[in-house]
Each structure stands twice: as structure tokens, then as C-alpha cells.
Amino acid sequence: MPGLRAPSDYSGEPPRHPCLRINSKEPFNAEPPRSLLISSYLTPADFFYKRNHGPVPIIDNIERYFISISALIEKPRQLWMKDIRILPKYNVAATLQCAGNRRTAMSKNKVVKGVGWGVSAIGNAVWSGAKLADVLELVGIPKLTSITQPGGKHVEFVSIDKCKEENGGPYKVSIPLDQATNPDADVLLAYEMNGEPLNRDHGYPLRVVVPGVIGARSVKWLDSINIIAEESQGFFMQKDYKMFPPSVNWENINWATRRPQMDFPVQVKISGYAVAGGGRGIETVDVSVDGGRTWLEASRFQKSGIPYVADDANSDKWAWVLFEITVDILHSTEIIAKAVDSAANVQPQQVEDIWNLRGILNTSWHRVHVQAGHSNM
Ligand SMILES: Nc1nc2c(c(=O)[nH]1)N[C@H]1C(S)=C(S)[C@@H](COP(=O)(O)O)O[C@H]1N2
Ligand SMILES: [Mo]
């Protein structure tokens, strides 16, 4: 594509912060130490987890960068950065989380396949850009288009990076058309992260951000958007990121039997974050210091000075909620944290109950062993 180039080797990778814990060098997959992660409500780009499936694309000439949008309209339309920048700019605080976050804890039970993420394949940022609903309207697709209409049902996002899962082809996934054309779903074509232009790892010059949904749907280095009749046939839609019951193994798996994962469920980390998919708020965070017999309610917050109320107009619906509680630990114990979202979804007690071969969506109670006098909450 003009302006943007996908290298086939890793000689042109961007610089990265030395604090990141590298899970895979090529492609680059890394997460920050957990203490840094929850030290601020907004995660600085340097510390934000990076999840790539191939070499990071290189900009040859930003002036020549455009995206093309096809189908439902007579011929593909080209949109330049200036066409996107001229649309109303929205700033949306949204937590992005890889479906494989906390995978390593699932492997302890029975081995799973995938990048060995700890607890920090998650981050919270203010993303700025145009709403996808406005962009689609610009090319003749009205707001709130229902998927029952003839023609398109899904909106596919295609990148330019070369992924081995796609046999060297680009990363691509799709979301339903009704979500894409709904302004309230806040799906963005973002060019800024925390007030700065996107950096190369996070999708410069333009990426999709689908709030409340697993990170895999937020395509970086956007090349084209296609309105298509069925969901994208790409690897990452059909052969990955699906939730299977524990009985499924690599011998008997039938990928076609499950829908692609979209929303992420409720989950919490003992040292301080709780997040629910689909834009749902966090109703309570409960902490136990006696192995789950009794529970204490933690205080929840997002921005300082504004009390957090689930699903309130002043709360960032797509963003994580930090929590805090001070407890006396008299002897060595296990601290447990679990959250409940505003639809009353509760985290499952044991990782065993939700084990799946891809090791995704580990939302089980987070348990941390502490020595008396060394609690760190
Ligand atoms: N083009 C492209 N987009 C992509 C990916 C990718 O490899 N290539 N990885 C996806 C996955 S699995 C996740 S979790 C998020 C990670 O975004 P980040 O690296 O900005 O944190 O990007 C998604 N978008
Ligand atoms: Mo991911």
C-alpha cells in the first residue's frame, strides 16, 4: 500500500522500554511489570503491553497513506488522513486487554498453547480519533444500520502486517455492522493515544479501537475496511480467539462449532484493577483474606476526586476500575479478589472450571499468597 510498508523481517523494529517483560521477541510480545501497570489510571504508551503477530509496518511517506473502504458502495472509496481528521474528534478512555491475559496461570493446571502472558497484557488509554460510525456514514452507510438488512452484516478491518498465521498475509478480523454503525458503541479509527500520535507498536498511523471487546478486534496499521456478508474468514476470527469447553483438545477440536469471542468477561487482579466487557460497570470488588469464607468490599475509583459509580454518566464505561482496600494480615494467608459487574456476572472460583486449550479468558478469582506483614494491596 502506498505510504506504509510491511517488512518481512525484524530489522526495522521500533525502540522499546527496557522495563518490559518480553514473552516473544519476534514477533514482539511484551508486558510491563505489574507494579508499574496499576501505578496510574492511564497507562503510558511505553508501558502498554505490545501484541504483534509480525514485523511492525514502516511508514515510507505519511503524505501518501490512505485507507480504502469497499462494498455496499459502488466502487472502493479512498480516505486520506485529512478526510479522517476533519470528522469530529472523540476522546474515549478504553481498556484494551488481550484475550490471553493471565494465560500462564491456566497452564499451571493443564498446558495451553499461546504466548505466556502474566497479568499485564492489559492497559488503559485515552484513544482519540474519528468514530467509525461517522466514517461509514461518509461513504454512504447510515448510522444504526441493522444486520437484518440485505447486503453486509460485518465490517472487516484489514491491516498490512505479514502474519505467519495468515501464511504471510495481513492481520484481519471483523465486527458486526450494527456495532460498527452505532455511535454509542464508540468504535474509533484512532490516530492518538493519551494525547500523542500513536507510536509504531500501537498501530501508527491509524488503528481501530473496539471498546469493551477483546484486544484482537482492535486492528492496528489499518489498510482497508470491507463491508462483507458474513464474518471475516481470517485466521484470527475463525481459528483463534474462541472459547471452548475443557473437554475439547487439539485432536477433537472443531473450530466451526463456536462463535468468535467478542466481549471480555469480568475479572480482577489482587493489586488493583477490575474490568468488565461490553461497557458494563463494576458493581463491587470483594476481597477475602481467609480463603473465601468472609469478604470485604474494596473502594473503587477511576479519576481522582470523582466518586466511581457503575454505569454513571461520569464514569468511563469502557475503562478499567481501580480498587483499594487496607486489611490487617495477622498471619500468612491467601488474599482473594473477585469482581461483580453491573449485569451481576461473577468471576468463577477455580481456573480449572474454565480451562480451555487456547488459554484465553482466564477470569478466575485472583489469589495471592502473602506473608504476615508483607501485604501489598
Ligand atoms: N494489524 C494487527 N492488529 C492487531 C494485532 C496484530 O498482530 N496485527 N494484534 C491484535 C491483538 S491479539 C491485540 S491483544 C491487540 C494489542 O494491541 P497493542 O499491541 O496496541 O496493545 O492488537 C490487535 N490488533
Ligand atoms: Mo490479543
205: CATH: 3.90.420.10
Q: Are residues 216 and 362 in the same domain?
A: no
> How far apart are the CA of 183 and the centre of ligand 1, in A?
23
> How far apart are the CA of 217 and the centre of ligand 2, in A?
8
Query: In the prediction, which pLDDT does 77 show?
Result: 92
Q: Are residues 135 and 251 in the same domain?
A: yes
Decide: 219 in ligand 1 pocket, CB within 6 A: yes
Q: Are residues 232 and 311 in the same domain?
A: no
Q: Are residues 249 and 273 in the same domain?
A: no
Decide: 198 in ligand 1 pocket, CB within 6 A: no
C-alpha cell belonging to residue 158: 484489514
Q: Are residues 326 and 196 in the same domain?
A: no
> How far apart are the CA of 195 and the centre of ligand 1, in A?
20
Query: In the prediction, which pLDDT does 244 show?
Result: 86
C-alpha cell belonging to residue 15: 525502540
Domain hosting residue 143, numbered range: 4-257
Q: Are residues 246 and 277 in the same domain?
A: no
Q: Are residues 167 and 253 in the same domain?
A: yes
> How far apart are the CA of 373 and the centre of ligand 2, in A?
37
Residue 18: inside a domain: yes
Q: Are residues 232 and 308 in the same domain?
A: no
> How far apart are the CA of 133 and the centre of ligand 2, in A?
24
Q: Are residues 191 and 299 in the same domain?
A: no
Residue 150: inside a domain: yes
Query: In the prediction, which pLDDT does 377 show?
Result: 37
Ligand number with the minimum distance to the CA of 204:
1
Residue with CA closest to ligand 1 atom 19: 50
Of the candidates 219, 239, 257, which is a domain's last residue? Answer: 257
- Going by DSSP bridges, is the β-strand pair 50-51/58-59 parallel, antiparallel, or unpaired? unpaired
Ligand number with the minimum distance to the CA of 97:
1
CATH code, domain with 354 = 2.60.40.650
User: What radius of gyration do the chain's Cα atoms show?
Assistant: 21
Tally of domains in the chain: 2
Residues with CB under 5 A from ligand 2 (ion): 51, 98, 215-216
The atom of ligand 1 lying closest to the CA of 170 is: 1
Residues sharing a CB contact under 8 Å with residue 68, sequence separation 6 or more, in sequence order: 76, 77, 78, 79, 223, 224, 225
Decide: 241 in ligand 1 pocket, CB within 6 A: no
Of the candidates 195, 229, 257, which is a domain's last residue? Answer: 257
Q: Are residues 165 and 37 in the same domain?
A: yes
Q: Are residues 229 and 287 in the same domain?
A: no
Residue 365: inside a domain: yes
Residue with CA closest to ligand 1 atom 12: 216
Residue 262: inside a domain: no
Q: Spell out the per-residue pLDDT of the chain, length 377, in tens.
A: 568 899 999 999 999 999 999 999 999 999 999 888 888 899 999 999 999 999 999 988 899 999 999 976 568 899 999 999 999 999 999 999 999 998 888 887 778 888 889 889 999 999 999 999 999 999 888 999 887 666 678 999 999 999 999 999 999 999 999 999 999 999 999 999 999 999 999 999 999 999 999 999 999 999 999 999 889 999 999 998 888 888 888 889 999 988 888 877 654 645 688 999 899 999 999 999 888 888 888 989 998 778 899 999 889 999 999 998 877 666 677 889 999 999 999 999 999 988 999 889 888 998 888 765 443 43
Residues sharing a CB contact under 8 Å with residue 360, sequence separation 6 or more, in sequence order: 99, 100, 103, 114, 214, 241, 243, 261
pTM for this entry: 0.83
Q: Are residues 219 and 271 in the same domain?
A: no
